[in-house]
Structure 1
Amino acid sequence: MANRMEVGGAPGGDGGGRGAFGRDWTQGGILGNLLQLSWPMVITSTLMMLGPTIDMIWVGKLGSASVAGVGVAGIAVQLTMGAMMGLAMGMRALIARFIGARDVDSANHVAQQGFVVGGGFALLVALVGIFFAEPILGIFGLDPDVMTEGVAYLRIQFVGMVAISFRFIVEGVMQASGDAVTPMVTATIYRLVHVTLSPFFIFGLWIFPELGVRGAAVTSIISYSLGVALGLWFLGSGRAMVFIGRGGLDEAGRQTGSRFFWWIPRSQPSRLRLSFRNFRFDTGIIWRIIKIGAPAMVSGMQRTASQFILMLFVSPFGKYAVAAHSVVQRIEMALFIPGMAFGQAAGVLAGQNLGAGKPERAERSAWMSLLLSEVFLIACSLVLLFWPAQVVSIFNSEPELLEIAATYVRIAVSGYVLMGFTSALMNVLSGAGDTVPPMIFSLITAWVVQVPLAFFLPKVGDLGVFGVRWAMSAGFIVGSVLFLAYFRTGRWKRRRV
C-alpha cells in the first residue's frame, strides 16, 4: 500500500469507476464546478463562524468584561483550531489527489489515518489547555473580572477539543472527496441547535441553569459533538446529500433541467464511503499527513499566536480597546471565511485535477477563486467603510466601544480589499499539498511586518491603539504580494504528495 500510494500528476487506479465517485470534478466547466463546490463551503464556513459570533452577541449582554474575556479566550481556541485545520489539510490534499486518480481505497485509508492524527493531537492540547488555562490568559495582564470570564470559557472549550478536531476531519474527508453539500447540511443542523441552546444556557432560561460565559462554551461543545455524529453517520452509510433540480442528473453527474429553481435535497451514493473494517496503523501515511499538514499547522498556529501578541499591544489601552479589537476580529473572520471557502473549493479542484494529470485546469480554478474572493471582499469593504458603527453595534452598543471600533473598522478596510489574494491562494496551494511556501509567507507577514509595526506605530504621534490596526493592514498587503508572486511561478503544480 505505501509504495503505490504516492501520487503526482498522473492518474492512478480505477477505484470503482464513475459510479463510485458521482460527479467528476476534473471535467466540465471550471466556473460551474467551482461555484457548485464553493457555495456549500461558503455556507459551511459561515456557519462555523456563526456559532462564536452568536455567542459574542449574547455574551455582549453580560457586559464588556464578558465580551473581552470571551474575545481573549477565543484567540486561544482559534490557535488550536488553526493547528487542527492545518493537520487536516495534509489529509485533505492526499484524499483529493487519490480521488482525482480514482484510487478510492487509498483515499479511505488516508481518511482512517486522519482520525488517528486528529484524535491524538486533540487529546494532547486538551490536557494542556484544561490545566494551564489561567497561565495562558495571565500573560495578557487582564483585569480580574475579564480574567475570570476568560478562564471559565476557555477550560470548557478545551474539554471538547476531540469533538472539535473530529469535526474538521469529517468535514475535510467529505470536501476533499468532492462532497460539499453534506457538510453544509450537517453544519446547518448543529448550528441551529447551537443558536437555539445558547441563550438558554447563558441566561438560565426555562429549566436550564444560568451559566453565563460557561453556557456559551457548553453549547459549542454540544453542537460540535452533534456535527461529528451526523458526519460519521453519512460517511459510514456511504450516502451524500445533493441538491437536484427537477430535471435530475444525467449519467455523467451533470445537472439537467432547471438549475436555479425547484431544487430539492436528495441522498445519493457518496464519493467515499468510510470504513474501519480493515483498519491498521500506517506510520507511513501518518507521516505523510503530518509532513504536508505540519507547515499548514504552523501557518494556522502562528497566525493566531501573532493575534496573542497583537492583543498584548492592545490590552494596555483598557477593556474597551480589548473589546473593540475582539469585535473587529469577529467581523474580519466573517469576511475571511467566504474567501477561504472559495480557496478550499479551488484547492479540492486543484488537488483532484493534479491527481488526474490536468495541471492547467487546476491553475484556472485558482484564478477563478481569486476573482470571486476579491469581488466579495471589495463589496463588503464598501459597506464597512460607510457604515462601520452600524455593523459594530450588532455586537455591542456601548458608546466607548463604538467610538474605538468604528475607527478600527475604517482602518481595517485598507487591508481587506486585498485579503482575497491571501485567503484564496493560501488554500489553493495548501489543497494542492504545497504547504511550505504559505507557511513562510505567513511567518513573514506576521512576524516581520505586523508584530514589529504593532510595537512601534502606537508610539508614533497620537495613533495609540489604532497603530496596531494599521500594522495588521500592512501585513495583509505584504502577504497578498508574496502569495501572488509565488503562485505565478507555477511550482505548486509540480508538487508531489
Structure 2
Amino acid sequence: MGTKAIVPLIMQMSLPPLFSMFLQYTYNFVDCLFVAQISEKALTAVSFSFPLTTLMLAFSIGTGVGINVLVARYLGRKEQDEANNIVSHGLLLSFLFGILLNVIFYLILEPYFHIFIKDEEIYALSMQYMKICVFLQIPNMVHIAIQKILQGTGNMLTPMAFQTAGVVFNFIFDPILIFGLGPFPAMGIKGAAVSTVLGYTVSMLIAFYVLLFTKQKVKIKTKGWKLNPAVWINIFRCGMPSFIMNALGAFMVTFTNSFLAAYSMTAVAFFGAYFKAQQLVVMTVNGLIQGCIPIMSFNFGAGNKERLKKTMIWGTVIAMLFMGTGELILSLFPKEILKVFMASEEMMSFGVPALRIMTTGYLFNGIATMVASYIQSVNQIRYSIVINLLRQLVMLYIFMWLFSRCWGMTGVWISFPAAEIVTCICCFFIMKKVERQEK
C-alpha cells in the first residue's frame, strides 16, 4: 500500500470488496425477487422491513470500518502489536454489540411497524419476516468485523470468498424454503428470512476459520492482552462516518415511505424495489471506498501526502465512472428492471419516469461519497459526518417536504438529484477547509 502504482493498487484493493459489498446487499435483493412472486403485499412488507435490515447492516459496517481504519493505520506505522490489539478488541466488541443490537431490534419491531403500516396483512407479513431476520445481527457483525480486519492488511480476496459462500447459500435456499421444494415445506416469507440468517451464519463460520487457522498479517492478541474501553471508543469514532452513511439510508427509506404512503402502497412497493436496484449501483462505489480507505489510512499514517492525494483523485474518477454506468443502465432500461419485481401497470406508470429522474444525481453521489471517505481517512471525522448528513438527511428532507407540495409524488423523485447536487457543491468548500487545516 506504500509503494505500488496507485491505479493498479486501487483496482487490486477495491474489486474484491466491491464484489463483497455487492454480495452483501444481494441478500435483501434476492429476497425481494422471490417474495415478489408471492404477492405485491409481500414485496411491500419486505420494503417496509428494509430500513431495519439496512440499519442493522450499518452498525456492522460502521464497526468494521472503524477496525479496518485502525488496523491499516497501525500497520502503516509498523506497530504490529497495536494492530493485533485492535483485532482482539474489535472481535469482542462485534460479538457483544451484536447481542445488544439483536435484543434492541427485536423489541422495537411491533411499535415500528404499527407506526408505518395500516394494512393488517402487510403488518402480519412484515412481522413474520423481521422476527426471524433480526437474528442475522450477531453473525453479520462478526463476519464483517473479520472481513474488515483482513482488508485492513491488504488481503481483499479472502473476505470475498466467505462473503460469496453465504450469498450462494441464500440464493439456493431462498426458493427452496419460500416455495417448498423437495423435503422442505413451503414457508412463504418466513423462508426468505430463515435463508438469510443461515447465509450470514455460514459466512461467519468460514470467516472465523480463516482468521484462526490460516496465516494472516494480523492475529488475535492473547498474551498480555487487557481490555481497554478507550480502544472501543476509538473504533466507534473512526467508523462513525461509515455508520452514518449507511444508517442514513435506513432513515431516508423510512421518511420517504412516509411521504409516499400518502399516495399509495404501490408507491411504497416501487420505492423499495428501486432502492434495492439503486443499492447494487451504489455498492460499486462503496466497494471502491472500502478499497481506498485502507490505502489512504496507511499513507496518512506513513505521512505520505502525495500518495494520499493521488488515491483520492483517482478514486473520485473511478467513482464517477461507476456511478455514470449505473445511471445509464437504470435510465435506459427502467421497464426491464421493474419487470424483475413483477411491477403492475400502476407501478410502471410512475416508476419509469421516477427511475429516470432519480438517476440524474448519481455522478454527484460518487464525488460526495469519495470526498467524505478521504476526509474520514485523514482523521477529520466531523466533516465527513457533515457531508453524509447533508446528502442523505438534511437537504433531502428539506427538498422532499418542499417539492412534494409543489409537484406531488414527482417532487419526491426530484428531491434526490437536488440533494446530491447541493451536497456536492458543499463538498468543494469543505475540502478547501480541510486542506488548509492539513497544511
TM-score (norm 1): 0.84
- 2:236 and 2:182 map into 1 onto residues whose CA distance is 46
Asked if 1 retains the 8 angstrom alpha-carbon contact of 2:380 and 2:434, the reply is no
* Inter-CA distance 422–48: structure 2 relative to 1 (3 Å threshold): same
How far is the alpha carbon of 1:50 from its aligned partner?
1.7
1:481 maps to amino acid: I
Q: Deviations over 1:52-79 (max 9, x none)?
A: 1111100110111011110110111101
How far is the alpha carbon of 1:425 from its aligned partner?
2.7
Q: Does 1:384 align with 2:333?
A: no
**What are the ranges of 5 or more consecutive residues in structure 1 without an aligned counterpart?**
1-24, 240-269
Identity of aligned residues (%): 18
SS in 1 for 2:116: coil
* Inter-CA distance 80–484: structure 2 relative to 1 (3 Å threshold): farther
Report what 1:441 is aligned to.
387
Report what 2:422 is aligned to.
478
Q: Which has the higher helix share?
A: 2
Report what 2:273 is aligned to.
327
Of 234, 240, 257, the residue aligned with 1:311 is 257
1:466 maps to amino acid: T
- 1:276 and 1:207 map into 2 onto residues whose CA distance is 45
Report what 2:20 is aligned to.
44
Of 342, 345, 354, the residue aligned with 1:408 is 354
SS in 2 for 1:184: helix
Report what 2:164 is aligned to.
188
- 1:335 and 1:201 map into 2 onto residues whose CA distance is 28
How far is the alpha carbon of 1:295 from its aligned partner?
4.8
2:326 maps to amino acid: C
SS in 1 for 2:61: helix
Q: Deviations over 1:201-232 (max 9, x none)?
A: 11111111222111111111111111111111
**What are the ranges of 5 or more consecutive residues in structure 2 without an aligned counterpart?**
none
1:386 maps to amino acid: L
* Inter-CA distance 481–121: structure 2 relative to 1 (3 Å threshold): farther
Asked if 1 retains the 8 angstrom alpha-carbon contact of 2:372 and 2:387, the reply is no
Report what 2:411 is aligned to.
467
TM-score (norm 2): 0.94
Of 275, 282, 288, the residue aligned with 1:342 is 288
1:436 maps to amino acid: R
Where does 1:247-286 land on structure 2 (aligned, <5 Å)? 270-276=216-222, 278-286=224-232
Larger radius of gyration: 1
How far is the alpha carbon of 1:148 from its aligned partner?
1.4
Report what 1:97 is aligned to.
73
Asked if 1 retains the 8 angstrom alpha-carbon contact of 2:331 and 2:355, the reply is yes
- 2:356 and 2:411 map into 1 onto residues whose CA distance is 13
Asked if 1 retains the 8 angstrom alpha-carbon contact of 2:143 and 2:208, the reply is no
Q: Deviations over 1:333-388 (max 9, x none)?
A: 01111111112211110011112221220111111111111112112212222221
Asked if 1 retains the 8 angstrom alpha-carbon contact of 2:368 and 2:387, the reply is no
Q: Deviations over 1:5-28 (max 9, x none)?
A: xxxxxxxxxxxxxxxxxxxx1102
Q: Name the count of aligned residue pairs.
A: 439
Report what 1:18 is aligned to.
none
SS in 1 for 2:327: helix
1:326 maps to amino acid: G
2:197 maps to amino acid: I
Of 114, 119, 126, the residue aligned with 1:150 is 126
- 1:100 and 1:336 map into 2 onto residues whose CA distance is 29
How far is the alpha carbon of 1:310 from its aligned partner?
1.5
How far is the alpha carbon of 1:394 from its aligned partner?
1.6
Q: Does 1:112 align with 2:88?
A: yes
Asked if 2 retains the 8 angstrom alpha-carbon contact of 1:350 and 1:362, the reply is yes
